[in-house]
Structure 1
Amino acid sequence: MPSINALADRLKEYLPEEQIRQVKRAYYYAEQAHEGQNRQSGEHYVTHPLAVANILSEIKLDSQTLMAAMLHDVIEDTNIPKSAIVAQFGDEVANLVDGVSKLTHLEFETKQHEQAENFQKMIMAMTRDIRVIIVKLADRIHNMRTLGALRPDKKRRIARETLDIYSPIAARLGINNFRVELEDLCFHALHPMRAQLIQNATKNMRGRRKDNIDQVTSSISDKINLLNFEYEISGREKHLYSIYNKMKNNRKSFRDILDVFAFRIIVKTSDDCYRALGAVHSAYTPISDRFKDYIAVPKANGYQSLHTIVISPRGLPLEIQIRTKEMEAHSNHGVASHWLYKESDDTQSNSLTNLRAQKWVKSLLDMQEQASTPLEFIEDVKSDLFPEEIYVFSPKGKIIELHAGATAVDFAFAIHTKIGEQCVGCEINNRISSLSEPLKNGDTIKIKTVEGARPNPAWLSFIKTQKARSNIRSYLKQLKSSDTTLLGRNLLENALSITNHTLDSISLTVIDSVLNESNFSTLNELLEDIGLGNKLAYIVASKLIQSTEVSPNSKEVIQTPMKIHGNEGLAISYAKCCSPIPGDHILGVINVGKGVVIHRSRCSNLVDIRNQADRCLHLTWDKEMHGQFFVTLAIDASDHPGVLAEIAGTIALEHANINSINIDKSDKHMSRLKINISIENRIHMAQVMKRLRKLKSVYKIIRTKN
């Protein structure tokens, strides 16, 4: 363990003497505060904050962050309050310490809901000062380095949490050095035998391939030397967890993983990067579809580099990365390089990196506001922490970065939330396409919108980006709230109409009295609760009219059928078991917390519910009801060439759409077709069935349950 004096010597490389004295003062303050405290390994506790500060010094963090690292456990583990830190070291350091202290219990030992709430605390701390999470990452690295004193089950739990949350955050902030070390430490903790085997195999391969590495380095150097500019070239091994993932994902043994080694070329300018690329491609044949230009189109975390894979003379693929010194620093330090380069003249790329990090953190805050529960929030964030980027274009040529597998809906929300909400169709590369079609690198997407259109809940099954998911959920949540409020109003008006009352005829005094009794602040809250089935409309009506005309025990008062207009939205759904359509006799079932589900009156699933009068709601269709409804027709038809086309054409003549067809051959002469079609009402269905019965090939046709 380095001493405070050894750290001070290292800090002389980039900090002035006065700031180094402040860091040392913070160390001595922490040493005194933690007096008598030991780690589980038996070491004095102060060795931990000193180690965290050493880790941060490797990426050249500023003095305030190093002081906060020294003091990060003082508030949590001693009796010293934040005010004392403010008095000694100022507000900025104290706020950093306080931010890190709030994260010290981010351990996944408790219930899932509490884990999610703890993770929300981390996001809130990041929005105030991103250095809080950088200190926390360094704290986690040292904890992972010193797992030896813990029980095996606790090691695995901490390693899994680190791999799920901390390593991806380091990657998202562009701190590649932290990410690599965390992943390898987790790999050793979770799979110690596998890690040791791969480590030994890599060591053995290093000796066998040394001549090959030297030959590649020499060949590339000979080509670049002709261009007459400064450069550095080095070969390196890929880290263990990366090799393991490639073996696992591609189902390959270690000997089948050919690109264990990679080469990096560091030059002075972006122009030199492209010139060096030309030199590499003149030395070795490139694999055409494996070139990536992250200089022209940086990654979301600001990472910039040229990546190419070439074939060596021995037929081995070689990965080569080309970047400038500044890009190399940002690759290793990410957003942390903001403090390293903030005094320099050339801060453009650094500023872009910091802005991207701030933009990402802000998007997390927006996501948190839109999520209905902490669990939903952490689910969205986890999906956002593992992006594999693709780059697509708007019709005007704007580059949009999306996750791999993203769709036109993700693209629409990336452009603007309103465009996403009003999206009804798309063109991909001037071709009309499905909204669910996965996009590919280089696609050009045009979104078709319609004023008044709204998100489809089915989009949640195929979208990939957290922005689209959180916006759709938020919109549907608000929409369902208004829909259930409207349904609750209709149910209450229906109950009041039994005694010739309306909601408007009830005095505000009486309404306020009922609201107070029910612990609601507004009438809309009460109506929404009725619409969700949490309160029964006839009981609320009884309280409102304050008379014996409606008895709380007289459940028959709601037996007058309520009309279904088709505009009830998400508060009303149609049972998939019996697929009711306008013209059917129907019954509504009130599901607590979900609204009303409409069944056909003779649905077998109503047998146990029919006698529960407080859950059943008599309904009728409004005469002006319009919409698309689904029914399944079972058709027995002769099995001959063209019969399917004949039946499909007949259905089309009645302006009905086929959604799906299932064919079951009952014998060599007869087939049973189950065709799901969309129709407008019972009369429309009858017209389709009548026309089908006229076909000579159709023997029998019935409407079935789904």
Structure 2
Amino acid sequence: MLRQYELVERVLAYDPDADEAMLNRAYVYTVQKHGTQKRASGDPYFSHPVEVAGLMTELKLDQDTIITALLHDTVEDTLATTAEIERLFGGDVARLVDGVTKLSKIEVMSENERAAENLRKFLLAMSEDIRVLLVKLADRLHNMRTLHFIKSADKRRRIARETMDIYAPLAERVGMYEYMREMQLLAFEQLEPEGYATITGRLAQIRETDGGQVDAIALAIKQALAETGLKVEVSGREKHPYSIWKKMAERHVSFEQITDIMAFRVLTDSTEDCYRALGVLHTTWQMIPGRFKDYLSTPKSNGYRSLHTSLIFENSMRMEVQIRTHDMHRTNEFGLAAHWAYKQGDRPDGQVGWLRDLIEIVDASHDAEELLEHTRLAIYQDRIFAFTPKGALHQLPKGSTPVDFAYAVHSDLGNFAVGAKINGRHMPLRTPLNNGDVVEIIKNRTASPQLSWLGFVVTGKARAAIRRAVRAKEREEVAAIGRKLLEGIADRLPSKIGKKAVREAVKRLGLGTEEDLLVAIGTAKLADRQVMEALVPGSTSGMDDPDHWPKQERAISIRGLTAGVAFHLAECCHPVPGDRIVGVRVPGKGVEVHAIDCLTLASGVDADWLDLSWGERTTGAVARIRMVLHNRPGTLAEAAGIFASNRANIAALENSSRDELFSTYDVDLDVTDLAHLTRIVSALRASDAVAEAERL
């Protein structure tokens, strides 16, 4: 652990004007506040924030960031308050500490909800100051370095999975590849212990038996470049164990089939020398087609710049070579953190493009699952480059479509998109884009996003925007239904009501707007009597007669619908709990729920289907059956007895046809679920009074 004077000396070495007294005060403060707290390793707890601060000094970050690193756990884990930190260390430090502070664990929430809420706060704070992210990444990296001290294997795997899914990709997106690689390696060890042991063991064997082959190849590369007058530094290394594992999984190959285990890095003095070095290497050794990438002319969104190529060395050995300048190398390894080094006069704007996308996703996400899904989509790598007709460059994940491109340009462009031209040709909106495509979006102000787009878009920003637009449209439809129902309720009141009465009703019911009232009525969250009483207090007195009020619907809930969306069970197929069901959106009526084998659906309804399932609160539904009875006295009574013995109430009965031998009845029955209905039909078929019985 760094001692107090060592930490201060590190900061003063690159920032002689730093406030030494404040740094000392912050060190003492964190030691005093954490006191006798211990980590899982047995070390004093304050050793953790001190080590995080040490990581920040390696990046030569400013004084406020170092102090934030020292204090980042005090508000959550000690009696310290944000107000106290602001009084002692200033508003900027207090704001940064608040941004980095992890949310207290809320045991009633699911793991995903806890992770999502933590991520939500983190992203919003990060949007204001990117230093929040830098401290958080260092905090997570040090926690991963000491993860093996945690006794619970499940807890270790949970932390490792969160690191692999969230923090390592975030480190990659800000260009901090050193942090990303170490996080991935430590998480890989916990998530795939057998794979980790196998690959690291094989790499150790290669080191023992290669006889200095890596150094020899590095020397050969340096000599080839020196002969043309290029002054370079060349280093060689094994590929990252996790990247080897990932390649094995993606290509479905064994370790022995991975041919480019070794990677070499060439550092030059200028960009021109990078291209000169590339030419020398390609003329000295055979390059592997399709493996060349130029991130100098088209840098990655995180600022990464380098030339990548793969060559065939002697004995058919494959090797990857990265060529970059010394300045590029520092930026590539530490990304945005490199720009925060004290010697840099300018500070980067934390609101970088991809970060703005993440903030839009936070605003648009409906729940924890959506937030995590969209954020993971937004921060993962593997990018392509596409251009607007005016030449503006946009980076997108592989597999992106014109819809993803439209939302990357501007949310309104995505919302109004109706078509696209790719390289001058009209193409479907679901067409995957390729590197270098020129994309022109055709828009119409009256258009709106389609739910079916979710089947092919790949970016988190597009998915979040589409879902938000669809929810808004569904809310409008529900509100329209609610308005019709409100008119019916108003007709039963003793006097006419105006806008003022509606505004007062909204207040009495604790709602925000008139639209909220209409939505609550349309989704049956408010009973008619509640609405009447809110509109005209006292108007429901004397209306206690049960016959005065319409029958309430059964308690039915459907999974797969957006909260608040009105639905009704289709009368063409009468689905009951236990049936596989789908939804069809009907303008002005909400969602119509059908059985999956409904003939109406089979006839080719032109609509988006929603995959639905029955909720836990469902207690019954109406099923329709057709029974053919022998035309003799007592058969209908016998059928009714079967219904009664199976506790099924007759909701409706219609004699659809009759002749000398048979009578046909269509019967609507209250049943609890599909199994209940099946028992009734089986009992009917077993009766001598019934010739045929089937569900309609």
* TM bucket, shorter chain: 0.7 to 0.9
Is the Cα–Cα contact under 8 Å of residues 106 and 118 in structure 1 kept in the other structure? Answer: no
Shift of 1:234: 0.8
Partner residue in 2 for 1:27: 27
Amino acid at match of 2:470: L
Amino acid at match of 2:459: T
Shift of 1:102: 4.1
Partner residue in 2 for 1:337: 338
Q: How does 1:24-63 map to 2 (within 5 A)?
A: 24-63=24-63
Amino acid at match of 2:386: V
Q: Mean Cα displacement is larger for which, 265-274 or 74-83?
A: 74-83
For the aligned residue pairs, the C-alpha RMSD in angstroms reads: 3.8
Gap change, CA 1:515 and 1:37, over 3 Å in 2: closer
Q: How does 1:310-329 map to 2 (within 5 A)?
A: 310-329=311-330
Structure 2: segments with no counterpart, 5+ residues: 553-560, 580-587, 590-598, 609-694
Residues 447-475 of structure 1 show CA distances to partners (whole Å, capped at 9, x for unaligned) of 22223111111111211112212221222
Q: Determine helix, strand or coil for the equivalent of 2:429.
A: coil
Is the Cα–Cα contact under 8 Å of residues 508 and 534 in structure 2 kept in the other structure? Answer: no
Gap change, CA 1:494 and 1:105, over 3 Å in 2: closer
Q: How does 1:50-199 map to 2 (within 5 A)?
A: 50-103=50-103, 111-151=111-151, 152-199=153-200
Is the Cα–Cα contact under 8 Å of residues 533 and 592 in structure 1 kept in the other structure? Answer: no
Asked whether 1:439 is paired with 2:433, we answer: yes
Q: How does 1:379-458 map to 2 (within 5 A)?
A: 379-458=373-452
Q: Determine helix, strand or coil for the equivalent of 2:395.
A: strand
Is the Cα–Cα contact under 8 Å of residues 173 and 357 in structure 1 kept in the other structure? Answer: no
Work out the CA distance in 2 between the residues paired with 1:70 and 1:281. Answer: 49
Shift of 1:127: 2.1
Amino acid at match of 2:68: A
Residues 183-228 of structure 1 show CA distances to partners (whole Å, capped at 9, x for unaligned) of 1111222333432332121122134345543443233323322442
Is the Cα–Cα contact under 8 Å of residues 62 and 342 in structure 2 kept in the other structure? Answer: no
Is the Cα–Cα contact under 8 Å of residues 107 and 158 in structure 1 kept in the other structure? Answer: no
Partner residue in 2 for 1:244: 245
Work out the CA distance in 2 between the residues paired with 1:384 and 1:103. Answer: 23
Amino acid at match of 1:532: T
Gap change, CA 1:592 and 1:48, over 3 Å in 2: closer
Gap change, CA 1:203 and 1:197, over 3 Å in 2: same
Q: How does 1:564-643 map to 2 (within 5 A)?
A: 593-597=564-568, 599=570, 601-605=571-575, 632=602
Shift of 1:131: 1.4
Gap change, CA 1:107 and 1:94, over 3 Å in 2: farther
Shift of 1:542: 9.5
Amino acid at match of 1:605: P
Work out the CA distance in 1 between the residues paired with 2:501 and 2:128. Answer: 47
Work out the CA distance in 1 between the residues paired with 2:76 and 2:562. Answer: 47
Amino acid at match of 1:14: Y
Amino acid at match of 1:408: P
Q: How does 1:285-684 map to 2 (within 5 A)?
A: 285-340=286-341, 343=344, 354-355=348-349, 358-493=352-487, 506-512=497-503, 514-535=505-526, 540=531, 553-554=547-548, 593-597=564-568, 599=570, 601-605=571-575, 632=602
Is the Cα–Cα contact under 8 Å of residues 247 and 257 in structure 1 kept in the other structure? Answer: yes
Partner residue in 1 for 2:637: none
Residues 256-310 of structure 1 show CA distances to partners (whole Å, capped at 9, x for unaligned) of 2121110111112222211111111112222232211111111121111111112
Q: How does 1:195-210 map to 2 (within 5 A)?
A: 195-210=196-211
Shift of 1:406: 0.7
Gap change, CA 1:496 and 1:85, over 3 Å in 2: closer
Residues 22-44 of structure 1 show CA distances to partners (whole Å, capped at 9, x for unaligned) of 43443233333333333232222
Shift of 1:233: 1.0
Work out the CA distance in 2 between the residues paired with 1:9 and 1:509. Answer: 70
Amino acid at match of 2:328: M
Q: Determine helix, strand or coil for the equivalent of 1:436.
A: coil
Gap change, CA 1:368 and 1:316, over 3 Å in 2: same
Shift of 1:5: 4.2
Shift of 1:369: 1.8
Work out the CA distance in 2 between the residues paired with 1:407 and 1:378. Answer: 22
Shift of 1:396: 2.9
Is the Cα–Cα contact under 8 Å of residues 358 and 461 in structure 2 kept in the other structure? Answer: no
Amino acid at match of 2:316: G
Work out the CA distance in 2 between the residues paired with 1:459 and 1:372. Answer: 18
Gap change, CA 1:18 and 1:439, over 3 Å in 2: closer
Partner residue in 2 for 1:642: none
Gap change, CA 1:502 and 1:630, over 3 Å in 2: farther
Partner residue in 1 for 2:232: 231
Work out the CA distance in 2 between the residues paired with 1:389 and 1:593. Answer: 37
Work out the CA distance in 1 between the residues paired with 2:562 and 2:24. Answer: 64
Work out the CA distance in 2 between the residues paired with 1:515 and 1:357. Answer: 39
Amino acid at match of 1:120: R
Structure 1: segments with no counterpart, 5+ residues: 559-589, 610-617, 620-628, 635-655, 660-704
Gap change, CA 1:482 and 1:315, over 3 Å in 2: same
Work out the CA distance in 2 between the residues paired with 1:163 and 1:371. Answer: 22
Work out the CA distance in 1 between the residues paired with 2:192 and 2:341. Answer: 36
Work out the CA distance in 1 between the residues paired with 2:499 and 2:98. Answer: 49
Amino acid at match of 1:520: L
Residues 79-119 of structure 1 show CA distances to partners (whole Å, capped at 9, x for unaligned) of 34344433443333333233323457599995432332122
How high is the TM-score relative to the length of structure 1? Answer: 0.74
Work out the CA distance in 1 between the residues paired with 2:478 and 2:4. Answer: 64
Is the Cα–Cα contact under 8 Å of residues 105 and 114 in structure 2 kept in the other structure? Answer: no
Q: Determine helix, strand or coil for the equivalent of 1:125.
A: helix
Gap change, CA 1:218 and 1:476, over 3 Å in 2: same
Gap change, CA 1:107 and 1:405, over 3 Å in 2: farther
Asked whether 1:16 is paired with 2:16, we answer: yes
Residues 296-325 of structure 1 show CA distances to partners (whole Å, capped at 9, x for unaligned) of 111121111111112223223211111112
